[in-house]
Amino acid sequence: GDYSCSFTYSAQGGTNEQWQMTVGVSEDGGLFSCSIWRPQGKSYLFFTQFKAEVKGAKIEHAMAYSQAAAGALNDIPLKQEEFGVTETTVSHREGKFRFELSKLMIVAKAPREEL
């Protein structure tokens, strides 16, 4: 539709990890979600940088995790200083990000057109 989500990153490691990305739109078309994660839980890649960007909507809520829930493991969020959120992007913070990422979730809101 009118929304898109992209994920760019730089990482070291060659573990052939499987990652998933899902996007969704609410029934009324007002909310857009984008999730990127490793279903097995923790990633063993050494991320030097990452950025997720949405188009067609403004970010309402975003969270990044060093570990994704899987089996007996729980989501472990990154510290707030490790990443930054703008209206359209979620990205690492240089010098603060600790190189671990296993999950990224974004909820964005479509701009309302005035009648």
Q: What is the pLDDT of residues 19-76, one digit of tens each?
A: 999 999 999 889 999 999 999 999 999 999 999 999 999 999 999 999 999 888 899 9
Which string of DSSP letters, residue by residue, matches 15-49? -----EEEEEE-TTS-EEEEEEE-TTSB---EEEE
pLDDT > 90? residue 109 = yes
Neighbours of 55 (CB within 10 A): 12
Q: Which residues contact 16 (CB under 8 A, 6 or more apart)?
A: none
pLDDT > 70? residue 115 = no
Enclosing H/E stretch for 108: strand 103-109
Neighbours of 11 (CB within 10 A): 17
pTM of the predicted protein model: 0.91
User: What is the model's pLDDT at position 71?
Assistant: 86
